[in-house]
Amino acid sequence: MPSGIVPQIFRDNGGIVWERSTDFVPYPVALSRMEDTVREIRADGAQERIWLLEHPPLFTAGTSAKEADLFNPRGYPTYPAGRGGQWTYHGPGQRVAYLMMDLSRPHGAVPERDLRAYVSFLEQWIITTLARLGVQGERREGRVGVWVVDSRTGAEAKIAALGVRVTRWVSWHGISINVDPDLSAFDGIVPCGIREFGVTSLRKLGVTATMQELDAILVEEWDRLISR
């Protein structure tokens, strides 16, 4: 396996281990490693982990995905994800954060065994991270993910997605934020089953932050939110 795929620890303060892969990580590799980590956390009390990465172009199907919502004119690989939600695109220019967390204990203001509160925390993590970059992210009733309104066009679009799976109260999968992906790749699916709205990215909104700059903000905002 290329060394850039193997996650490298860039932060370990005795609590959550933060890791990052610099090469594109094939989806089956990510799934396998998440499964192993979840097992270690549950069985052996291993440290929780947040893994930052990018995937090569691919589509994943959540447990509610409909075959009619997949078009895939470019023939990208498709994978069942086992997480909640519907179809999602992953690819270069999109920051994916996979979180393997023991939800049987509290995390900041998130009570133990409260999946709804955990998902809300992840949404707030994305929103406060975007705010640091001058982007106003918002929740929408009945729509999963984080949404923005382009002030230049008035168009509403999705900038970040999330999907969570829980195994014996250990979470896996996580979030994705569109930094500068090929937005036309999303035309191969109905993203998250929502036909009425499009997708956008930081770059399309005029934000030129690098992946490393985004990572640093994600760490800072996680620490700030979890300490509340």
Q: How many CB atoms lie within 10 A of CB 201?
A: 20
Please, what sign has the CA dihedral across residues 57, 60, 66, 67?
A: positive
Nearest of 150, 135, 142 to residue 198 by alpha carbon: 150
Full-model pTM: 0.95
* Domains of the chain in sequence order: 8-226 (3.30.930.10)
Question: pLDDT means per 10 residues in the chain (228 residues)?
Answer: 90 92 97 97 95 98 91 96 89 98 96 96 98 96 87 86 95 97 94 74 95 97 92
Q: How many CB atoms lie within 10 A of CB 14?
A: 6
Two tokens, residue 189: 């699916």
Note whether 41 and 15 are within 8 A (CB): no
Q: Give every CB contact of residue 89 below 8 A, 6+ residues apart in sequence.
A: 57, 58, 59, 76, 181, 185, 186, 188, 189, 191
Predicted local confidence at residue 112, as pLDDT: 97
Please, what sign has the CA dihedral across residues 78, 83, 86, 91?
A: negative
Q: How many CB atoms lie within 10 A of CB 8?
A: 11
Predicted local confidence at residue 30, as pLDDT: 97
Predicted local confidence at residue 142, as pLDDT: 78
Annotated catalytic residue 192: yes
Distance, in Å, from the CA atom of 80 to the CA atom of 102, rounded to the nearest integer, reads: 23
| Per annotation, catalytic residue among 50, 175, 177, 192 | 192
Predicted local confidence at residue 193, as pLDDT: 58
